[in-house]
């Protein structure tokens, strides 16, 4: 079932005669539980034409490097095969996403797209809506509760959005019912780049190769489903009590798959329903994650310190001249050359594996604030390192968590140097609460393994 509230008409130009319905895939790179894909399939059947899925493979994608492209191409390889099985042509153009959509749009009766929450994603959709010359409809499929249904304004904190999301869960955690399309598009003559071999596709692309692909995580819907299944069986019941222990990694590993739209949050949420641990997990997957979409949708300054609440801004300004205990350059931080073995381990984990443990991300971010002369520089540094190395970086959740480090969605705490009233974290806290030396040893082992 596709709720009307997931659907938004971006251009009300008429549906016209054409060879196919185009689903311009951008954010939701999957063939399973994709509301935009299913909506497009139903449109195609209603118009008695085939469905084509178009994708723009853009070597210059904002902040993307070989690590991100490898993971994405692994997923696209599988998506292409799954679409082919349903008789749907997957046409890949080596072009910016909006450009690829506009190359295919002239032959389409209508264009369907998925939704993105970041500035550049919105701008691509606006351009396609303006220039496609036919009806363009957006279908939101990467959240459980559509952003405008949850709230019509920027929410203050998790506690303010939580009840608004919860009241809709039964309505939106529903099966989609995948069917059709009735007509095959595989025989249409449309030029496409080949993504059936992800390594060959990556070798062909002129991408930033300064950050290498990782072997720790493999992209794709079936790998995401396998990991999720394993998590539900082996770790979900103890998720609440063990997820913060950095040495254990007692988490689901879903964030890279969610970032690339390789897995549906509706699927992930449905997997945990009825199991012990459900509540703690849905708090992260739905409340925390969809609070991030809320921020990016309603606050145009989501990616700067200007998104911070007034109290946080003021307290940081009050402490701007405080002596920093250590100050490191971007290069020292990138190479994990600080005095702090815990921070260095976290940075190393991210550089080597493409995914730092959640609890260490908080500590990592707080220390960047402590060791940088200015909060604006700290924000930029954090974003640069996170988005360069994390597989799940460059996401609404990334920007929202950078803001959290500086007090967003949090409350004032006891005043202290540098941080003012913003929550602080200490190495002693890590030592008290966790087996932090075991975490350091684990990262060192991974480093030794190469």
In the complex, which residues of this chain contact ligand FAD (CB under 6 A)?
Answer: 243, 251-255, 258-259, 284-285, 288-289, 292, 358, 361-362, 365, 386, 390, 392-393, 395, 397-398, 401-402, 405
Closer to ligand FAD by CB, 259 or 421: give it.
259
89/81 Cα distance (integer angstroms): 10
Lookup: tokens for 106? 């002239």
DSSP string, 170-182: HHHS--------S
Shortest distance (Å) from residue 255 CB to ligand FAD: 3
Shortest distance (Å) from residue 57 CB to ligand FAD: 22
Shortest distance (Å) from residue 9 CB to ligand FAD: 29
Closer to ligand FAD by CB, 253 or 315: give it.
253
How many angstroms separate the Cα of 165 from the Cα of each of 25, 28, 157?
Answer: 26, 21, 13
Shortest distance (Å) from residue 277 CB to ligand FAD: 11
Shortest distance (Å) from residue 138 CB to ligand FAD: 22
213/207 Cα distance (integer angstroms): 12
Closer to ligand FAD by CB, 22 or 64: give it.
64
Shortest distance (Å) from residue 283 CB to ligand FAD: 8
Closer to ligand FAD by CB, 221 or 398: give it.
398
How many angstroms separate the Cα of 154 from the Cα of each of 70, 135, 386, 402, 409?
Answer: 34, 30, 24, 17, 11
Closer to ligand FAD by CB, 39 or 399: give it.
399
Shortest distance (Å) from residue 257 CB to ligand FAD: 8
Residues 6+ apart with CB under 8 A from 49: 18, 19, 20, 21, 109, 183
Q: Are 86 and 31 in contact (CB under 8 A)?
A: yes
Closer to ligand FAD by CB, 32 or 93: give it.
32
Spatial strand order in the sheet of 89-93: 7-11, 135-139, 108-113, 20-25, 51-56, 89-93
DSSP string, 50-73: -EEEEEE--TT-TT--HHHHHHHH
Closer to ligand FAD by CB, 40 or 287: give it.
287
Q: Are 120 and 62 in contact (CB under 8 A)?
A: yes
Lookup: tokens for 243? 């997820």
Of residues 312, 230, 311, 240, the one with CA closest to residue 278: 240
**Residue at token pair 């979409």:** 293
Shortest distance (Å) from residue 339 CB to ligand FAD: 20
Closer to ligand FAD by CB, 92 or 425: give it.
425
Q: Are 390 and 258 in contact (CB under 8 A)?
A: no
**Residue at token pair 């220390």:** 367
Residues 6+ apart with CB under 8 A from 216: 352, 353, 354, 355
Closer to ligand FAD by CB, 16 or 242: give it.
242
Shortest distance (Å) from residue 349 CB to ligand FAD: 11
């Amino acid at each position: 079932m596709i709720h009307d509230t997931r659907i938004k008409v971006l251009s009300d130009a008429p549906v016209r005669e054409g060879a196919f319905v185009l689903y311009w895939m951008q954010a939701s790179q999957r063939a399973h539980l994709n509301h935009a894909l299913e909506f497009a399939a139903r449109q195609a059947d209603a118009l008695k034409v085939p469905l084509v899925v178009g994708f723009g493979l853009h070597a210059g994608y904002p902040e993307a490097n070989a690590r991100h492209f490898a993971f994405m191409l692994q997923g696209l390889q599988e998506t292409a095969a799954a679409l082919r099985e349903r008789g749907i042509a997957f046409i890949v153009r080596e072009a910016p996403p909006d450009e690829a959509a506009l190359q295919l749009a002239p032959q389409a009766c209508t264009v369907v797209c998925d939704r993105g929450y970041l500035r550049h994603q919105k701008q691509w959709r606006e351009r396609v809506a303006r220039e496609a010359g036919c009806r363009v409809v957006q279908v939101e499929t990467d959240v459980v509760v559509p952003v405008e249904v949850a709230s019509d304004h920027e929410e203050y904190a998790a506690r303010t959005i939580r009840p608004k999301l919860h009241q809709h869960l039964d309505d939106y955690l529903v099966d989609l019912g995948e069917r059709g399309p009735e007509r095959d598009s595989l025989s249409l003559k449309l030029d496409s780049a080949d993504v059936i071999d992800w390594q060959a596709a990556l070798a062909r692309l002129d991408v930033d190769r300064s950050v290498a692909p990782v072997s720790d995580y493999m992209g794709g819907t079936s790998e995401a489903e396998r990991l999720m299944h394993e998590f539900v069986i082996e770790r979900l019941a103890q998720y609440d009590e063990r997820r913060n222990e950095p040495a254990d990694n007692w988490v689901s590993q879903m964030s890279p798959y969610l970032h690339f739209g390789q897995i549906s949050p509706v699927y992930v949420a449905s997997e945990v329903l009825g199991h012990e641990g459900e509540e703690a997990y849905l708090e992260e997957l739905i409340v925390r994650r969809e609070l991030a979409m809320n921020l990016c949708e309603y606050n145009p300054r989501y990616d700067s310190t200007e998104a911070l609440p007034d109290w946080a801004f003021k307290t940081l300004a009050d402490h701007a001249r405080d002596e920093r205990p250590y100050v490191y350059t971007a290069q020292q931080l990138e190479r994990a050359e600080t005095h702090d073995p815990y921070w260095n381990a976290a940075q190393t984990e991210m550089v080597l594996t493409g995914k730092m443990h959640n609890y260490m991300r908080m500590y990592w971010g707080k220390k960047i604030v402590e060791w940088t002369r200015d909060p604006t520089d700290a924000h930029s540094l954090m974003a640069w390192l996170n988005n360069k190395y994390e597989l799940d970086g460059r996401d609404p959740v990334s920007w929202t968590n950078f803001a959290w480090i500086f007090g967003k969605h949090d409350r004032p705490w006891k005043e202290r140097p540098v941080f003012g009233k913003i929550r602080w974290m200490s190495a002693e806290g890590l030592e008290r609460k966790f087996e932090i030396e075991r975490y350091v040893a684990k990262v060192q082992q991974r480093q030794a393994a190469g």
